[in-house]
Structure 1
Amino acid sequence: MQDRKYQKKKALVEKFVKKHGRVVDHSVILNSVDVDYDTLMRILAELRAEGRIS
C-alpha cells in the first residue's frame, strides 16, 4: 500500500521528468528531488509501466 508521502514524491518525480525531458540522468533527479535511490527506481518503473513517461 502506498502512503501519501510516496504519492507526493511520485508526483514530484513525474513533474520533474516531464519538465526537463525524458533524457534526464538519475543523479540530477536525486539531487533535485528529495527522494532516495531505491524509491526513485520504483517510481520510474511504475511511471513507465503506467505509460506516463517513456
Structure 2
Amino acid sequence: MFHDPIQIPALIELTLLAVVLIFVSVVRARRRRQRLRNGADAGTNPGR
C-alpha cells in the first residue's frame, strides 16, 4: 500500500510522536501518584 517515499517517514514520525506522548503521560501520572502518596496519609486513600 505504502509505496510513496514520503508517506513511510511520515508514518514513522507519527508513531514515534505517539509513543513519546504516551511515555510522557505515563511518567507524569506516576510522578503525580508518588506526590499524592508522599503528601497524604495512608488513611486518606481507602481505595489503594
When normalised by structure 2's length, the TM-score is 0.41
| Bigger radius of gyration among the two | 2
Say which structure, 1 or 2, has more relative contact order (CA 8 Å, 6+ apart).
Answer: 1
Give TM-score scaled by structure 1 length: 0.37
